[in-house]
Structure 1
Amino acid sequence: MQRIHYRLITTLSLALFACGQGNQQKNGNKHEKDSIAMREQFATSPVLDGKTAIGHMQVDEGLEVQLVAAEPMVVAPVAMTFDERGRMWVVEMTGFMPDTAGTGEDKPDGKIVILEDTNRDGVMDKRTVFLDSLVLPRAICLIENGVLVATPPQLWFIENNSDKPGKRTLVDDQYAAGGNVEHQPNGLLRAMDNWIYNAKSDRRYRKVGDKWLKEPTHFRGQWGITQDDHGRLYYNNNSENLLGDYFSPGLGGTNPQQNNAAGFDQKIVPDNRTYPARPTPGVNRGYQKGSLDDSLRLVKFTAACGPVIYRANLLPATYAGNAFVAEPSANLIKRNILSDSSYIVKGVQAYQRKEFLASTDERFRPVDLRTGPDGALYIADMYRGILQHKTYLTEYLKNEIKMRNLTQPLNCGRIYRVIPAGSKPQPVTFELTPAFLGKMLGNENGILRDKAQQLIIDQHLTTMAPELRTMLKDAAHPLTQIHALWTLEGLHSLTAEDISGIWQQQDPVLKMQALAALPAVLNSSSIKATIAALDSLSDNPYLAPVVAYVLPVVGKLDKAASTRLEDKMIKTYAPDRYVAAALVNNAANREAALLKQVIAWNPDTTLVLRRQLETVLKNMDSKANAKKMEALRKELPRGYKIFNTVCQTCHGKSGEGIASMAPPLNESNWVNGNKKAFISIVLYGLTGPVEVHGKVYKAPEINGDMPGIGASDEFSDADIAQLLTFLRSAWNNKADKVSAADIQQVRKLNNGRQKPFTAGELTN
């Protein structure tokens, strides 16, 4: 009753205030009056206990939010996963931003903890610390007899000896090198294709025996990564609702000169509007026009993270396959509805002017979302006042934090689950037997199917191969077929005969999965029959992109046959951007020759394949400056370091920009042009459209706002001058140096300024 009573009061107060807004439109300055009223209503941000905080949440009708764990059971959770016993493994990033200066954030106080519900009432009642003394841990993945743990800059595999850490293996000493805490790899998603993928990264990992493999893949996202029932990956960056791939993640990514391949890093949900339940002035650029509406609510995403595709059946059927995205700056969780058209995935927001879940508690910071083995939607709430890292923290936000005492406390954290109202979902415990695991491969909950696949592989249950082959032929259960295919691949038991059998089936989705798995089985004895099948499959526009993506492995076994098939696909699909991207991937180290071949066949300058090849060749020219960059690193070490920790995370290591993030720095008219304008951008930021190389970049093609670093306590004027000098000399850029005096002069000219510049201001 108390919870319902509080929610009613909150709803009425907001409704009454909304009525007041309508009257204020008749009076003078609506924005000013609304802002003042909101400031008065939400002048403080009290610290609420976990159960009371639920009373501040508005959630979809028919659903309820339950508290699963709260401090001291869990503190500052940023990532979570479940094991075969239904226990929750949680990453605690306790050291994140202890104050606005980030004092002591390098203190080793992070932990990996195991939470368990021993009496099966839905509430965690047992806490086991598996690892402690970690600096800003960020991701976890369970595999075989151990745990992958990401602690910058290393990625470690740590054996699990009865919930105590055992032997440590260094998997990658450069996993999270460069960047700051907001811009370092994370996620560690064990995907359907048996590789482990990351957000904010272009590398993937796989354990084979006692060895760890590391391979290049497409660059993806910023914080959090998830997959759908077909194993396609989804992610986002801080200002983008949902990005993702149209194809299996292991395809492509092997041509180091190719950036932004069509079909990967696509805008799945281009609508980035948000509808908070409360005013949200405490966002980094809240002072900027258009960032907040007249009631001080965030207009668009600014901290999108932790996406999940809901793949279970506990929630109503209308939620299946939906994408949920956390927005901790606005204290809400977004729901998106996805749909397929051919292999293209698109999505729309589920509602207009409301959210799936929104809280009036400013400290509610959802940062990771998961589908649980019980079918519930789980929410990791960091429950912090400060969310923005010090590198980009503006004076405006520092003041907001001070006004509402948001720095403390640092020892809170919650995990919630969303379930149908009145339901009592039970935890799921796996029996590690072939009979049980085989049955679970057909479960309606995709998370349980994933876990069954992983456990079969982890236990090396090759005796299940005959049963898996039977599942592979069961067209009545297409999702089970897909898992059977990849489980066989993970066991190294998939054969060319298995793939050939799929070619005879009708389901094009399964055929696409088989094409993605083809590299695992292709050999000299099966290549001839495979080429004949690929030639036939390439006639299907739905399958053509994936056929083109497997050409590199075909070429290793039969170069002449691969060349013939490539030529056929060029003449059939040269205008198709997705097939063209796959053909460019296949053309590594021979892009110029292929361009010459394409022009000889068809001199059309607008041909998609031609334009993609020309872009790659331009990228190659830009990357030919390795010696120059090494010399600059030695000459300007501080500038080089700041570039790698701040700039390259959005603009790319080669300065060519990153799709959905930021435009190029290489040969940019802004970098090479007016010194004062460039200094102004770096100090105060840039908002809105910007023209580079004659092309206008604007949201949603890129992030519409670039934050300045002039207010950061991390960098002196000499540091910033060295950074700008580095950028004006890097790659093909050729411009004069910037001094600390230049920086100081621009600061003096703009004394007191907080808001970012527009391109128009800097060119007038």
Structure 2
Amino acid sequence: MMTIQPTLQLLLQAILILTAQDAPTTISGPGPLEPPAALQSFQLQQGFTLELVAAEPLTTDPVAAAFDEDGRLFVVEMNDYPYTDKSTDLPNQERTTDLPIGKIRLLIDDNDDGLFDRSTIFARDLSWPTGIAVWQDGIFVAATPDLWWLQDADRDGVAEKRERILTGFRKLNVQAVANNLLWTFDHRICGAGGTNGGLLAGAALPKGSPTPLTMSRHDFSFTPTGPPHDFRLLSGGARFGNTIDDFGNRFICNIRNPVQHVVLPLAALSRNPSFTPTSPLHDVAASGDQLPVYRTSPPEPWRIINAARLTGQGDPRMPRSEKNAVGFLTSACGVTVYRGDAWPATFRSQVLLSDVAANLVHRQQLTPAGSTFSSQRIDQNCEFITSTDNWFRPVNFVHAPDGTLYLLDMYRETIEHPWSIPPNLKRHLDLDSGRERGRLWRLAPDKTNTAEAARRIDRQSSTAALAAGLAHPNGWHRDTASRLLRERATPEAAAEVANFLRKTSSAPGRRHALTLLDVWHAVDVALLRQVLQDADAGVRQIGFRLLARRLADADAAATAGADWPAMLISAAQRETDEEVLVEIAFALGAGRFSPQQRAAGLAPLLESPKECVRAAALRASRDTEFHFWKSHVAAT
């Protein structure tokens, strides 16, 4: 149950702020807890435990992280949140003069006990860093306004090469920046774009791309090899969160939209400008005012005052989440689909996210719903994790080599955006308080022994061994094996992965193998026809996606030897999986087919009871309007 008991002292301070001229200089709540005491403040659902794996001074202000194949953890430290000079913090004005004091910290576990023993500063002087992805002997980092490549060729734990591959992300709202870089199934690095927009330029852009490229409200992806890095805009516009499931479906979140599925890709949406769907995103979970949360920490005094002020304004358009100091979701972030193997198997379809302002972790159960998903609260009248400590600020999660999740705790006294706090309250708050703190917690089931779990992958492993890793039950191992294979990119590696694809019974393994072969241009027509009939819908989905791209490129060599219009017409009639039907529609729209062929394939899809399938078919229906009209007249 939710227990909210502000102390008398806090309430008296709140009253003074409202009524007295000699108000206190601060309206702070309780002070910070040292890690042992903080551990005692948590309430977890039965069967789980939290273990501290790192704390200040080993790390401060962690907001994103990524393990390399050696089990080293790169941690993004956003020390410049929310500003470095509050005198320049003005609503809706860019923050170009803030000092870049963010860092990348490298944490090392010397004795394989799962606890980090030492750290080095891998890179300094980064502005608003919020995303990271490992590649070869370095990392890519999203640090608004820039996208960086940082290389450590001698592996001494310090980057000696620093290359800005893109710039122009708008440095406006500190909570709406480019964030959460993520390896996706197409072997590209995908980032959440935030909502600040920007005008982008740099070596990451493809040759011939408009310069500057208008970011608008999109997500993005790029290849690790370059320059150029084939930077592309994607459907999305995530505020702070970016995750995939074992099928490659991508989910994002916004502050009041805890789980959103990216259903319609931007590339496909551009094929028929006459049709514009309401949104390429689907709200998987109830959002904002419809989603109650159950914190166990007391509301901060300033929050009580502000809620009372907004209630007194009597604006019926004001969300309940603003007019109430507690009770509703206000700051969803770090959405993560669990893909590890240390937790019970039932957790593989669960989503975790933080309400960072409410000091809690919430979870939802994902359920397929045709070509998209729905999700429902798992924990009734309570949360997966709560803390009575107002300083607990869970902002993100990272999958670990041992199959668990690590929780990133920024540990700040106040986490709210400066613009969301009225000036008469903000002047009594220290928004920098806690900048020297930060914790990482390991979230694991009770009585689960992960001591023997592999905490690293030898990059010198044989190609066959890495290919076998594509079938590992832990998503981190599959993703890391896939990346290491991607780094090799030799004909021998392609042959080994193709052999694995033909023989493995692992559906996730076949999905990873197929996308690897595609990156290497090693999927011939015979193999493509084979995967389009695979027993796994996820493999078929990827196969039709590859076919659509080849048809759009008019790559005669890559598509010769098959009657693709007839095959797609047949597939549209017999396929039952709605996600695959969406990809079939996109392939029909991409191909240089006759209007009659395209119309014949799209006709059954336009009759689908599912909105996403119909939307995909409408988007693909360029040049078919006359044929559909003619058929309609003939039928009547």
Per the TM superposition, whether the score is higher than 0.5 is yes
- 1:413 aligned onto 2:438: yes
Structure-1 residue corresponding to 2:69: 84
- 1:499 aligned onto 2:528: yes
Alignment of 1:384-423 (within 5 A): 384-395=412-423, 398=426, 402=429, 407-423=432-448
CA 1:235–1:397 in 2, change beyond 3 Å: closer, same or farther? Answer: farther
Matches of 2:28 and 2:160, distance apart in 1: 49
Matches of 2:131 and 2:187, distance apart in 1: 18
User: Shift in Å at residue 595 of structure 1?
Assistant: 5.9
Q: Which amino acid aligns with 1:538?
A: A
Q: Answer whether contact 2:120 2:158 (CA < 8 A) is retained.
A: no
Matches of 1:100 and 1:424, distance apart in 2: 47
User: Shift in Å at residue 345 of structure 1?
Assistant: 1.3
Structure-2 residue corresponding to 1:71: 56
User: Shift in Å at residue 258 of structure 1?
Assistant: 8.2
Q: Deviations over 1:366-409 (max 9, x none)?
A: 1111221111111111111221222333347527x63xx66523
Alignment of 1:294-305 (within 5 A): 298-305=326-333
Structure-2 residue corresponding to 1:191: 184
Structure-2 residue corresponding to 1:269: 285
User: Shift in Å at residue 552 of structure 1?
Assistant: 4.7
Matches of 1:516 and 1:183, distance apart in 2: 30
Q: Which amino acid aligns with 2:167?
A: D
Alignment of 1:29-40 (within 5 A): none
CA 1:37–1:242 in 2, change beyond 3 Å: closer, same or farther? Answer: farther
CA 1:255–1:412 in 2, change beyond 3 Å: closer, same or farther? Answer: farther
Q: Which amino acid aligns with 1:121?
A: D
Task: Tell me the secondary structure at the aligned position of residue 412 of structure 2.
Answer: coil
Q: Answer whether contact 2:548 2:588 (CA < 8 A) is retained.
A: no
Structure-1 residue corresponding to 2:394: 366
Q: Answer whether contact 2:53 2:442 (CA < 8 A) is retained.
A: yes
Matches of 1:258 and 1:155, distance apart in 2: 34
CA 1:164–1:502 in 2, change beyond 3 Å: closer, same or farther? Answer: same
Alignment of 1:10-49 (within 5 A): 44-49=29-34
Q: Deviations over 1:659-712 (max 9, x none)?
A: xxxxxxxxxxxxxxxxxxxxxxxxxxxxxxxxxxxxxxxxxxxxxxxxxxxxxx
- Tell me which of 124, 143, 164 is aligned to 2:158: 164
Alignment of 1:154-233 (within 5 A): 154-161=146-153, 162=155, 163-174=157-168, 176-177=169-170, 179-199=172-192, 200=194, 201-208=218-225, 210-233=227-250
Question: Which residues of structure 1 form unaligned runs of 5+?
Answer: 1-10, 19-30, 604-764
Task: Tell me the secondary structure at the aligned position of residue 353 of structure 1.
Answer: coil
CA 1:537–1:54 in 2, change beyond 3 Å: closer, same or farther? Answer: same
Percent same amino acid at aligned positions? 24
User: Shift in Å at residue 530 of structure 1?
Assistant: 2.9
- 1:582 aligned onto 2:610: no
Matches of 1:171 and 1:189, distance apart in 2: 17
CA 1:99–1:213 in 2, change beyond 3 Å: closer, same or farther? Answer: closer
Structure-1 residue corresponding to 2:541: 512
User: Shift in Å at residue 207 of structure 1?
Assistant: 3.1
Q: Which amino acid aligns with 1:276?
A: R
Q: Answer whether contact 1:102 1:390 (CA < 8 A) is retained.
A: no
Matches of 1:373 and 1:190, distance apart in 2: 16
User: Shift in Å at residue 481 of structure 1?
Assistant: 1.2
- Tell me which of 492, 505, 527 is aligned to 1:463: 492
User: Shift in Å at residue 279 of structure 1?
Assistant: 2.6
CA 1:572–1:123 in 2, change beyond 3 Å: closer, same or farther? Answer: same
- 1:548 aligned onto 2:585: yes
CA 1:599–1:340 in 2, change beyond 3 Å: closer, same or farther? Answer: same
Task: Tell me the secondary structure at the aligned position of residue 458 of structure 1.
Answer: helix
Q: Answer whether contact 1:262 1:578 (CA < 8 A) is retained.
A: no
Structure-2 residue corresponding to 1:151: 143
Q: Which amino acid aligns with 1:240?
A: N
Matches of 1:565 and 1:166, distance apart in 2: 56
Q: Which amino acid aligns with 2:99?
A: K
User: Shift in Å at residue 594 of structure 1?
Assistant: 5.9
Structure-1 residue corresponding to 2:260: 243
- 1:56 aligned onto 2:53: no
CA 1:475–1:347 in 2, change beyond 3 Å: closer, same or farther? Answer: farther
Structure-2 residue corresponding to 1:311: 339
Matches of 1:594 and 1:43, distance apart in 2: 64
User: Shift in Å at residue 335 of structure 1?
Assistant: 1.0
Q: Answer whether contact 2:82 2:431 (CA < 8 A) is retained.
A: no
- Tell me which of 123, 129, 132 is aligned to 1:137: 129
Structure-2 residue corresponding to 1:533: 567
Q: Answer whether contact 1:246 1:345 (CA < 8 A) is retained.
A: no
If you compute each CA radius of gyration, which structure gives the higher value, 1 or 2?
1
Q: Answer whether contact 1:276 1:297 (CA < 8 A) is retained.
A: no
CA 1:101–1:431 in 2, change beyond 3 Å: closer, same or farther? Answer: same
TM-score, normalised with respect to structure 1:
0.67
- 1:286 aligned onto 2:307: yes
Matches of 2:501 and 2:494, distance apart in 1: 10
Q: Answer whether contact 1:251 1:549 (CA < 8 A) is retained.
A: no
CA 1:564–1:424 in 2, change beyond 3 Å: closer, same or farther? Answer: same
RMSD: 3.3
Structure-2 residue corresponding to 1:476: 505
Structure-2 residue corresponding to 1:116: 108
CA 1:183–1:91 in 2, change beyond 3 Å: closer, same or farther? Answer: same
Task: Tell me the secondary structure at the aligned position of residue 349 of structure 2.
Answer: coil
Task: Tell me the secondary structure at the aligned position of residue 278 of structure 1.
Answer: coil
Task: Tell me the secondary structure at the aligned position of residue 229 of structure 2.
Answer: strand
Matches of 2:165 and 2:322, distance apart in 1: 47
Q: Answer whether contact 2:549 2:587 (CA < 8 A) is retained.
A: no
Q: Which has the higher contact order (CA 8 A, sep 6+)?
A: 2
User: Shift in Å at residue 495 of structure 1?
Assistant: 2.1
Structure-2 residue corresponding to 1:702: none
Task: Tell me the secondary structure at the aligned position of residue 65 of structure 2.
Answer: strand
> Please, which moves more after superposition, 464-473 or 509-518?
464-473
Q: Answer whether contact 1:149 1:157 (CA < 8 A) is retained.
A: yes
CA 1:99–1:156 in 2, change beyond 3 Å: closer, same or farther? Answer: closer
- 1:430 aligned onto 2:457: yes
Matches of 1:460 and 1:220, distance apart in 2: 32
Structure-2 residue corresponding to 1:564: 596
User: Shift in Å at residue 267 of structure 1?
Assistant: 0.8
Q: Which amino acid aligns with 2:188?
A: W
Q: Answer whether contact 1:90 1:114 (CA < 8 A) is retained.
A: yes
- Tell me which of 330, 341, 347 is aligned to 2:375: 347
Matches of 1:268 and 1:299, distance apart in 2: 21
Matches of 2:7 and 2:624, distance apart in 1: 61
Matches of 1:315 and 1:327, distance apart in 2: 22
Q: Deviations over 1:73-98 (max 9, x none)?
A: 10111111111011111111101125
CA 1:257–1:372 in 2, change beyond 3 Å: closer, same or farther? Answer: farther
Q: Answer whether contact 1:68 1:416 (CA < 8 A) is retained.
A: yes
Matches of 1:190 and 1:594, distance apart in 2: 37
Task: Tell me the secondary structure at the aligned position of residue 497 of structure 1.
Answer: helix
CA 1:258–1:414 in 2, change beyond 3 Å: closer, same or farther? Answer: farther
User: Shift in Å at residue 413 of structure 1?
Assistant: 0.7
CA 1:261–1:69 in 2, change beyond 3 Å: closer, same or farther? Answer: farther
Task: Tell me the secondary structure at the aligned position of residue 173 of structure 1.
Answer: strand
User: Shift in Å at residue 38 of structure 1?
Assistant: 13
Q: Answer whether contact 2:588 2:601 (CA < 8 A) is retained.
A: no
User: Shift in Å at residue 571 of structure 1?
Assistant: 3.2
